[in-house]
Amino acid sequence: MTTVLQRSTEPIKMRNYGRIIQNMVTYACTLPNNGKRRALVIYIAQCMRQKNVAWNKDQESGLQRVKADIVKLSDGRLNCDFEGFDEQVQSIKVEAKQPQQQGNKKKKK
- Does residue 73 carry a pLDDT above 60? yes
Distance from C-alpha of 109 to C-alpha of 89, rounded to nearest angstrom: 52
The reported pLDDT for the residue numbered 62 is: 77
**Which tens digit of pLDDT belongs to each residue from 21-59?**
999 999 999 999 888 999 999 999 999 888 887 777 666
Give whichever of 49-53, 74-78, 90-94, 100-104 has the largest mean pLDDT: 74-78
Q: What is the pTM for the complete model shown?
A: 0.73
Domain boundaries, given as residue ranges, for the chain? 18-90
The reported pLDDT for the residue numbered 81 is: 82
